[in-house]
Amino acid sequence: MRNYLNVIILIVVAVLVGVALYFIVPPGEKTFLGLDLQGGLEVVYEARTNAGEVPTAEQLEQTLSIIDRRVNGLGVSESTVQQQGADQISIQLPGVTDAQQALAIVGKTAQLEFFKNDPAARPVGPVASREAAIAEAAKGDVPEADIEQFREGFDNTDDWALVVEPAETVTDAEGDEQVIPEAWYVYRRPPELTGAAIASARQSYDQFNRPNVLIDFTSEGGTEFQRVTKELWRDGLRSGQSATFAIVLDNVVESAPRIDHTDPTLRDGISGGAEISGSFTLAEAKDLALVLNTGALPVQLEPIQQAEVSATLGKDSLRAGLIAGIVGLALVLVYMVAFYRFLGVVADLALIVYAILFWGLLNAIPVTLTLPGIAGMILTIGVAADANVVIFERIKEEVRQGKTVRSAINAGYSRGFRTILDANILTILTAAVLFYFATAQPKGFAFTLMLGVATSMLTAVLFTRALLGVMSRIRFFARPAFLGVTGEIAAPATLGSAAGARARGRRPAAAAARDDGRDPAAVSTAALEGAAASGDDPAGRPQAKPAAATSGGTSSTGARRTAARKRKRRK
């Protein structure tokens, strides 16, 4: 009956190999390559609130979703945005070539604020430096606590914002270039409007055909904007000088439009949209529109780790990894055949099946293949072979003790399996811990390791057992020599014939004697004494030799005692 089961297992494995091949062929196209193999950009950000504190879970979640939308806006396929620890966000952008641009978009807080430029809203500025602005603010009505925050390097507190207007080169009427130096201000929060008032933003061109960004407000935002501009128009009328307001993005003045109080059409404020016209390049304007559309991050992001991999480097790494994998597999294949002969061929078949199934599985899930993942894969080749070593050694041992090939195979698997299970569970356990704790890179390694060890149990144990089970029914294969066991069998091994099959369960003479004597090594050696150590097989020979060679030392005690008992029996 067992044989039907074996045949079924073989058929199932064949089908699985077929399915796996479907996921593999054509190779290279169906494997998802990680950033390190494909090239791209990886950044880890640390998130902090305005006050420099660890953000709440909610803030971080919001940040993740905004970044996700921005990354999608970049048009990068297979990008990943992940939370890491309590306050870190790791972003992987495969295939990105312009790292600076990507970073500018992804990590930008994009806190957009509209401030009035009047003494109440802007008590400080313009002054020439950050320090000067802080000193000036300390004299005014900015509280000491906020000043302290500024001094520590933060630009934002809940009630105040330290803002810079970057230096700019302008061409005056005579065509001379003039540099307007940067200017610093302190603004009072809350601003008149924030990015929340924006319904959508898009890149466009102003009247001089320079790139700008057009903003459409939400209905609420539009009303507010109209109120503010109306107030500014009136302020201008009252003072006789047109009032301005500042559009501030992440503490940088992007533009400071003037509301012309001499223009009566503005008397009720400006309805509709607004325009941000700084000195943008086309790309900058597009990027700004993208970040405004996705909204402001509730936190500040500081890049703490950043790595760029060029596509060429990725390709080189992939090739090196593949070569190492193929060479490693080949070495193990050769070693197994050299050491275990026919059993080695079976193990090799299992290893090849393993490689195909594992690769197919990785593609089907799909697992993104990274460099450490390749290392994990290659290591599992060794682990898969280990399982067969354990089982085959056991089988050889059983055959040497006089079991038939068939029953030796059964015993080898049932006894070896426990060892393999224990050892593999420990490897999987450690990999799982690694997966749970580790940061992105070792995670890939741990995952492939777990997956591979689990798959290898299927091929190295189940598949080889079924294969050997079917083969041992064939007379030709059912010879001890085929198992790499030569010339030192305790009792004549019965061929895997019908008689041998029936003998299963019944114990051959030597095995029975062994249990009696409670000392298998001594008994089998006693049976072997004088037998020519013929084989050229380095594994088989020494196993048989020990007791024969031990004339002194502790081990002889056992042998001597067994001999004594034998004499007693003979009486």
Smaller CB separation from another protein, 212 or 401: 401
Q: What are the tokens at 125?
A: 């500025």
H helix count then E strand count, the chain: 19, 17
Output the smallest distance, CB 39 to another protein, in A.
Answer: 7
Output the smallest distance, CB 110 to another protein, in A.
Answer: 18
96-155: contacts with another protein (CB under 8 A): 97-99
The residue within the footprint of another protein, chosen from 9, 133, 301, 378 (CB under 8 A), is 378
Output the smallest distance, CB 385 to another protein, in A.
Answer: 4
Is 542 a binding residue for another protein by CB under 8 A? The answer is: yes
Output the smallest distance, CB 131 to another protein, in A.
Answer: 15
Is 11 a binding residue for another protein by CB under 8 A? The answer is: no
Is 355 a binding residue for another protein by CB under 8 A? The answer is: no
Smaller CB separation from another protein, 247 or 378: 378
- The answer to whether 247 and 256 have CB atoms below 8 angstroms apart is yes
CA-CA distances (angstroms) from residue 306 to 35, 46, 93, 431? 13, 12, 11, 26
Q: What are the tokens at 260?
A: 């012309």
**Pattern 508-527, another protein, x by CB under 8 A:** ----------xxxx------
Smaller CB separation from another protein, 177 or 422: 422
Beta-strand pair 88-94/183-188: unpaired
Is 487 a binding residue for another protein by CB under 8 A? The answer is: no
Smaller CB separation from another protein, 99 or 501: 99
Output the smallest distance, CB 133 to another protein, in A.
Answer: 17
Is 342 a binding residue for another protein by CB under 8 A? The answer is: no
Angle (CA) 24-30-32 rounded to 5° is 125
Instruction: Select the span of 16-24, 157-165, 176-184, 317-325 touching another protein (CB under 8 A).
Output: 317-325
Q: What are the tokens at 164?
A: 């810079």
State the Cα–Cα distance between residues 476 and 283, nearest whole angstrom. Answer: 75
CA-CA distances (angstroms) from residue 152 to 125, 141, 214, 398? 20, 19, 36, 75
DSSP string, 455-510: HHHIIIIIIHHHHHHHHTTSTTT-SGGGGT--S--SSPPPPSSHHHHHHTTSPPHH
- Total binding residues for another protein by CB under 8 A? 93
Is 545 a binding residue for another protein by CB under 8 A? The answer is: yes
CA-wise closest residue to 158 among 131, 202, 191, 125? 191
Is 303 a binding residue for another protein by CB under 8 A? The answer is: yes
59-88: contacts with another protein (CB under 8 A): 85, 88
- The answer to whether 115 and 248 have CB atoms below 8 angstroms apart is yes
Beta-strand pair 88-94/80-84: antiparallel
Is 308 a binding residue for another protein by CB under 8 A? The answer is: yes
The residue within the footprint of another protein, chosen from 270, 411, 431, 485 (CB under 8 A), is 431
Is 310 a binding residue for another protein by CB under 8 A? The answer is: yes
- The answer to whether 10 and 466 have CB atoms below 8 angstroms apart is yes
Smaller CB separation from another protein, 148 or 516: 516
13-42: contacts with another protein (CB under 8 A): 36, 39
Is 273 a binding residue for another protein by CB under 8 A? The answer is: no
DSSP string, 110-142: --EEEEE-STTT--EEEESSHHHHHHHHHHTT-
444-483: contacts with another protein (CB under 8 A): 445-446, 449
